[in-house]
Structure 1
Amino acid sequence: MARLLVESGPALTDDAESPAPRLLGPAQIRRLAAELDVRPTKTLGQNFVHDANTVRRIVAASGVGPDDTVLEVGPGLGSLTLALLGTAGRVVAVEIDPKLAQRLPHTVDEFAPQRADALDVVTADALAVTADDLPVTPTAIVANLPYNVAVPVLLHLMTEIPSIATALVMVQAEVADRLAAGPGSRVYGVPSVKARYFGDVARAGAVGRNVFWPEPKVESGLVRITRTDPYVDESATRAQVFAVIDAAFAQRRKTMRSALATWAGSPAEAERRLRAAGIDPQIRGEKLDVGDFVRLAGVEPA
């Protein structure tokens, strides 16, 4: 577990000129980056949004309001953070870069002093964070996720923080398509099925390259997950279900009988379990929905 540093912004000021946070534009982003000597890196998946209309649109699409505590992953220089503070009741920002984490409360104090006491910053790797590591209980995720670890981070947080009712994340467009794909789709696969384990998944818009600094080589998309937790009372655990999903798609072109042979111990045992779950052994994993995988994971070994 990463060592956590929690920082809160300064107290609310009575002389704030406006109740609405000022948002960052290209000039402010470059000023902050220069001040911190920050050079965005591919290693951390850093691309900073510098367009105010884009962050407003993300917040609007998320549906969060004053009753929500939002978990933001990878706040960077604070573009989305400021927009969230204008709408949500509270924001908990998880930032892996200590330099950026230490600067964020000061940025909020400068651009949204009237909301500075509504921010908590946790310096940590989001892939290691659990609910116990956070100073408050989040109800939603809204984030421009680091593209190189977007899916693992999203699935980890949905697993570890059951209080999260909705997630609205910006990811690479291709990843957004995969997350939102349904059975039978050409891009339906492991991320699609695992995301649906937690609830309803849908595309929520597209984001162009020109709103980022530096401009990425890929298009971006928004994905929304509305948690329903339909499988929490099933006999199979989440880990068991995910193990079956991984096995089914490891050799995508094979039938389920063949693809699950190693997982089950033999092709014959794979077939027995498939038939017990009401699944045709000759079908491929791309045709099954998450409910099929849950039933299959719940079949006891012979």
Structure 2
Amino acid sequence: MKNFVTFIVLVVAVLIGTKIIVDKRNQGTTKCDKTSPDNDCTARSSTTDKKECAPIPEKMTNGEITCTDSNMEGSTCKFQCTKHNFHLHPSSSSESTCLPSGKWSNLIPCCVEPCPPHLLMDMAILVHRNNYDDFVTINAVAADLLPQLKIGQGGLHYARMYFSGKIHEPRILFEDSVKMTSEEVLHKVTHELNFNNTEDGRVNIGAALRYVKDNVFGVEGDRPDIPNVLFVSTDSNSDDDVAAPAKALRDAGVLINAVFYESEGIVPNDQMLLDITGNQRLITKRAKNHPISYYQKLNENFFKYSCYATCQNYV
């Protein structure tokens, strides 16, 4: 009899222990009937807040956007162009989903005419070269690039200047390029914009930046609703301060890229390049004596970046 009682006690203990374990396992997972006043779902269930991605624009110029749940995690947005001959760029971004990481799965596109040739941008280029052979090569780059672009309404407004101690004449400004055909612009770049350094041998990138701010951006031919982009291409470090004029341009909304072409005996000043661009990602340093195939590759990369920048300033 004593053994039987002991057995019953053990069975009851096991059953009670099992119930406790099951109840603990079920805590927070029991399904609630939220319509019943007897159920306290708040206490017995947990929810995870959804993350948010960067806000999606409410409107899309020349197109439309439809999203399943705004910019919340799991939302999928679809993009399409509604104006004739306008296409999504990037073309791979017809839809994008807000991921648990808080980032969109694809870049948010825009609607543009085919790019190239329609590169909707106000672009200025500042060029300095100590070496004449490099000057000839950079003209070859222009000869390859410019015929692929539409210059004028619906396309590129283009400015190009060579400098050393000061900006050289002649030069092309936005107001000039919009009155010329692409062929005329190319001829001026390759035949009239001459290689010429000032006698004092100075390279004043800061002065060149101030010239661009006062005479290129914000004046005739510069469109207020189109991205402003400046490329500073040099093979020398600056003899004057670049930080203040570069910041003034960036504060005015100009995206500045710096390309440093290494030359014999000149080590690029990394801080100077960062002062110009304000962003390490916008600095490119190239070793001396690249073959022309390199410049062709540079042109390809230029279009990948620049065609997207026709939609927005992209960094």
TM-score by length of 1: 0.31
TM-score by length of 2: 0.30
User: Which structure is higher in helix share?
Assistant: 1
